Structure 1
Amino acid sequence: MADRIREKLNQLRLEADESAAKVEELKAKVKALEQENLAKEQEITSLSHKNGLLESENEKLDTTIKDLKKTADEGLQHGTHNETLQRRLQLLEEEAEEADKTLRETNEKLRQTDVKAGHFERKVQALENERDQWEGKYEEMAKKHRDLQKELEELQNEIGNI
């Protein structure tokens, strides 16, 4: 009977050790996900800042295009000057289109990053829930271990009194 108790205690110790190892592993995973989430948040901030700069640049370019178009209309009598302005206008429009394309790409990256951030937040929450379950199991096993230890001591006392 004492062998069975020892065997049961050894089993409980092994389960407790395995639970502790699993808790540590889950804590490491949570930490890694939190760091990854922080990196994604920093990337979102960076992309948001870049997005703001591109929008500002795009507004400047739009204003410049409007000004150049107005100047071109007023300068019809100046043929060569008008051609120069038209070329400049075309370059600015291409730059504006490129800036607009970059803005759309940045917005898409920002959207994808938001989706990923949401995914990782859900993943972190799931891992935290799993960790909480493992901690609960660990505490339950620790309580069982203490109870069995107490029973063993009582049994040893009874055997000693016999």
Structure 2
Amino acid sequence: MDRIKEKLAKQKADLDVANDKVDELEAKIKEFEAEQTKKEGEISSLTSKNAQLEADVEKLEEKLAEVKKEAAAGANLGVTSDNLQRKVAVLEEEAETTEKQLKETIEKLRLTDVKAEHFERKVQGVEAERDNWEKKYEEEVEKYKKAKAELDELATSLENL
């Protein structure tokens, strides 16, 4: 009888440990999911910024082509090319700056994608671990129910004696 009680107590303790581990793993999953949502927001923001920068690059390239045409026409018309060359230089600098920003944004986007993939793998691992613990928990509950049934049966048979 004492052995059964000890066995029941041990199974209850195992059940409590399994419950604690399941709770801990579920909290970790929530953390990873929140972080993944944040990273997805960053990806969305960087993608939007990337599109804007690409549009800016196109506009600047068009302006540059236009200014170059004006510079060529201005030279033919006798207009001082110094002003046009300064405009070209400024536009080229702006184009370079925008291109640099575009490259930086693309790199940030790539890094964020890598991080998002990393966290997705972590979430999958934690979910698998949680599933494992839930399975162990269910097994412990079954063992507990069987032991309790045996104890009840033993108690009934002892009462009948």
TM normalised by structure 2 equals 0.96
Aligned AA (2:12)? R
Distance 1:118 1:149 in 2: 46
Structure 1 portions without partners, runs of 5+: none
> What aligned pairs does 1:71-82 form with structure 2 within 5 A after superposition?
71-76=70-75, 77-79=78-80, 82=81
Give 1:78's aligned amino acid.
V
Give the TM-score, by structure 1 length: 0.96
Aligned partners of 2:73, 2:48: CA distance in 1, in Å?
38
TM-superposed deviation, 1:89: 1.2
Partner of 2:49: 50
CA deviations on 1:64-91 (whole Å, 9 max, x unpaired) are: 0000011011111212xx2111111111
Q: Structure 1, residues 111-147: CA drift from partner, whole Å, max 9, x if none? A: 1111111111111111111111100000000000000
SS of 1:159's partner is helix
| Aligned counterparts, 1:61-72, within 5 A | 61-72=60-71
| Offset at residue 153 of structure 1 (A) | 0.3
**Secondary structure of the equivalent of 2:42?**
helix
1:5 corresponding residue in structure 2: 4
Mapped to 2, the partners of 1:129 and 1:31 lie a distance apart of 14
Residue identity matched to 2:67: L
Cα distance in 2, alignment partners of residues 15 and 91 from structure 1: 72
Identity percentage over the alignment? 49
Extract structure 1 runs of 4+ deviating beyond 4 A: none
